[in-house]
Structure 1
Amino acid sequence: MTMPPSPSRGRIIFFLILTTVFWGGSFLFTKIGARDLPPAIFVLLRFSLASLLMLALCLPRLGRLDRTTILRGAIVGTALGVTNLTFVVGIKGTSISRAGVLNNLFVLFIPLIARILWKERIGPSHLAGILMASGGIALLAAGGGQGFNRGDLISTLCAFFIAVHIITVSKVLKDDDVWLISLVQFSVVALMAGSTVALQQPAAIKVSREALFAIAYCAVFSTVICFTLQNTYQRYVTPTQAGLIYTLDPVWSLLAGFGVLGERLAPREWLGCGLIFLAVVVPLAIRYLQERRLLQRYRPAG
């Protein structure tokens, strides 16, 4: 029995970049949807629709849905739920330009969490990245006349929960069916958002056409398609290479904020965003170069 050929390098990179485009678009459409809807209701509608779509895709696989898959999916789904609830609250309270850059801090939070929980060493490049990120946040706080507001704080907290979700996925999931795991994850997020809505008991709301389109975009493109593309193509690259590609997320959110919403950043804010972006890219780039050197050293002759 022969294994199916791996996709070409160009195809892998293309679809991973397309994933960042779809995810970058979620900042814009979440901002639009959150104008009319409370964050918990927006997350509830988004992930309820995503769960229904994933259920339709998983119908031939439902016979393999067992207790272990449900348990593991519920664990990573809980982390995903907290991530998405803080994501919407953060975007509602700040510009999508700032939120996109701050969310990317998850790359720096991962080694910090690993250090605290498993005593893993933090390399000099990550320490430098943390210092640059701190300087970037200070510049954001000093620029734009609004300081480091509540939305910025929640967006930074969201970056922490993104890191928690990534670590949870790597520690909890084994050889699970990624389609069924995604179905359980989406369903858990919908249940968490629904519980939050029930506790808050919001007043009657009116959903605009723009909000409905935003929900549909985020459910289809930023959830179902993004997860499918990631699960399909990310396994063909190293985590470092994937991380470098995913740093394009804030680029698209900055462009969307500038071109569609008319957001403008003060010079200090631009400098702060640039420092945070470098804080993420520099450690990843150094790690990528180290990986290349190791690969060349141990590559068999010929």
Structure 2
Amino acid sequence: MQPQSSADSNSVKPTLMLVLTTLFWGGSFVFNKIGFREIPPVTFFFFRFSLATLLMAIICFPRRHRFNRATFVTGIKVGLALGATNLSFVLGVSGTSATRAGFLNNLFVLLIPMLCLLIWRERVDRWTFAGLAGAMAGLWQLARGGVEGFNQGDLLSTLCALFIAMHIITVSKLLRDEDIYLVSLVQFATVATIGGILFMILPAKPFAITAVSGGALAYCAIFPTVICFTLQNTYQRYTTPTKAGLIYTLDPVWSMLGGMLLLGERLTEQEWVGCGLIFAAVVLPLTVKRLRERQLGIGYRAEAAAE
């Protein structure tokens, strides 16, 4: 086993890259809300992934000879999960604040082990159950705070957390030896297709793509989509799932700061308490697990070390 100090030094770049992904993801809450001022959520959803598909197709062009049926099928499966995630995301963000949506989305960290318990009967430790109790208390405080209490946007943002967990599990169970870039291309195209179908069948709503909404659209297509998926797939394998989960808890911090600085959002006392309880509920189980890993000298995944 590699010494702890060496393992820590090897994980500096992956850690920084994953922190960067949380910054981009946190910004997506703010830029989605900015874009929604001129482009309806479902239309924005469709345009975002259409642009992301085009950009990823350009990136993947030199790798086209690796494309095969397995890649196509896997990409569609994870794309369906990603489509459900992002559709509930845009509908949730459009109905609540970026701050509340960010903390509610982060509940996926607690939902992953619960889904694994329900589906595969995997063991869940008591710290995760404690986190769930804290999260429920946080949701109750959010329901007491705000003008509308726990509204439809909050409910959809919570549902989005479930879909995020399902997407992560789907990716971890289905991806084997496929080319990650090509799988991302297919899943982006799948999501764009879902958006296109909804765009055609739902009642048409007027929209305008100005410099502001176009910039928000470009940001969401490039940074939290193409770049974040690339960085996550490249660097997450060089750390443990627990440490990666801890890093991803920064998402709502960035969405909160962005919402306050760029959108002028402010939280009531109950909302502060609710968001704080949810954040603590997510961080606590991961912190305990990470401390155990450090005691065992585990700094990164075994397969990454082998490379």
Q: TM-score, normalised by structure 2?
A: 0.92
CA distance in 2, matches of 1:37, 1:167: 31
Structure 2 residue 104 is matched with structure 1 residue 102: yes
Q: Which residue of structure 1 aligns with residue 301 of structure 2?
A: none
Residues 197-220 of structure 1: CA distance to partner in whole angstroms, max 9, x if unpaired? Answer: 112031343223211111100011
Q: Which residues of 2 match residues 111-260 of structure 1 at below 5 A? A: 111-260=113-262
Note if contact 2:17-2:235 (Cα within 8 Å) is conserved in structure 1. Answer: yes
CA distance in 2, matches of 1:203, 1:223: 25
Q: Which amino acid aligns with 1:66?
A: N
CA distance in 2, matches of 1:291, 1:175: 27
Paired residue total = 291
Q: Which residue of structure 1 aligns with residue 11 of structure 2?
A: 9
Note if contact 2:40-2:205 (Cα within 8 Å) is conserved in structure 1. Answer: no
Residues 265-284 of structure 1: CA distance to partner in whole angstroms, max 9, x if unpaired? Answer: 00110010000000100010
Divergent runs of 4+, >4 A: none
Match of 2:270 among 268, 271, 279: 268
Note if contact 2:11-2:239 (Cα within 8 Å) is conserved in structure 1. Answer: no
Q: Which residues of 2 match residues 258-297 of structure 1 at below 5 A? A: 258-295=260-297
Q: Which residues of 2 match residues 45-124 of structure 1 at below 5 A? A: 45-124=47-126
CA distance in 2, matches of 1:204, 1:269: 34
CA distance in 2, matches of 1:175, 1:193: 28
CA distance in 1, matches of 2:86, 2:262: 23
CA distance in 1, matches of 2:147, 2:218: 34
Note if contact 1:90-1:99 (Cα within 8 Å) is conserved in structure 2. Answer: yes
CA drift of 1:108 comes to 0.8
Note if contact 2:78-2:187 (Cα within 8 Å) is conserved in structure 1. Answer: yes
Q: Which residues of 2 match residues 33-52 of structure 1 at below 5 A? A: 33-52=35-54
CA drift of 1:143 comes to 1.0
CA drift of 1:101 comes to 0.3
Note if contact 1:40-1:194 (Cα within 8 Å) is conserved in structure 2. Answer: no
Residues 174-224 of structure 1: CA distance to partner in whole angstroms, max 9, x if unpaired? Answer: 111001001001000000111111120313432232111111000111111
Residues 143-180 of structure 1: CA distance to partner in whole angstroms, max 9, x if unpaired? Answer: 12320000000000000000000000011111110010
CA distance in 2, matches of 1:107, 1:29: 23
Q: Which amino acid aligns with 1:173?
A: L
Q: Percent same amino acid among aligned pairs?
A: 56
Q: Which residue of structure 1 aligns with residue 4 of structure 2?
A: none
Is there any run of 5+ residues in structure 2 with no aligned partner, and where? 1-6, 299-307
Q: Which amino acid aligns with 1:51?
A: T
CA drift of 1:10 comes to 2.3
Residues 123-144 of structure 1: CA distance to partner in whole angstroms, max 9, x if unpaired? Answer: 1000000000000000000012
